[in-house]
Amino acid sequence: EVQLVESGGGLVQPGGSLKLSCAASGFTFSGSAMHWVRQASGKGLEWVGRIRSKANSYATAYAASVKGRFTISRDDSKNTAYLQMNSLKTEDTAVYYCTRLGSDWGQGTLVTVSS
């Protein structure tokens, strides 16, 4: 059974940093691209970014709204993907999902940016 479990969410002040983790199991993590998708309360889904596999040079891509502030990385030895969020803004407040962008999604972790 595929499982994606996010952790690391919480309350952070504007301008602060937070690192989310996504622990994966049940599939060949090293061969999969991993995505982060977020959803502000009452709003739609927003694709945040993705990291491809080693075979694809761990290529990353980001939404314009987070480019330069967020960094996605992965540790294939730990079957874990990460989302490092810096210079956080109030508009980054959302539930953040880790996903393979298909049938596999985590339960989400809430990030609240507020003073």
Partner 1 sequence: QSALTQPASVSGSPGQSITISCTGTSSDVGSYNLVSWYQQHPGKAPKLMIYEVSKRPSGVSNRFSGSKSGNTASLTISGLQAEDEADYYCCSYAGSSTFVPYVFGTGTKVTVL
Does the footprint of partner 1 cover residue 82 (CB under 8 A)?
no
> Closest approach of Cβ 22 to partner 1, in Å?
13
Does the footprint of partner 1 cover residue 113 (CB under 8 A)?
no
Does the footprint of partner 1 cover residue 102 (CB under 8 A)?
yes
Judged by CB, which is closer to partner 1: 29, or 97?
97
- Provide CB contacts within 8 A for 22, sequence distance 6+: 4, 5, 6, 7, 34, 36, 80, 81, 82, 83, 98, 106
Q: Which amino acid is at 25?
A: S
Count the site residues for partner 1 by CB under 8 A.
21
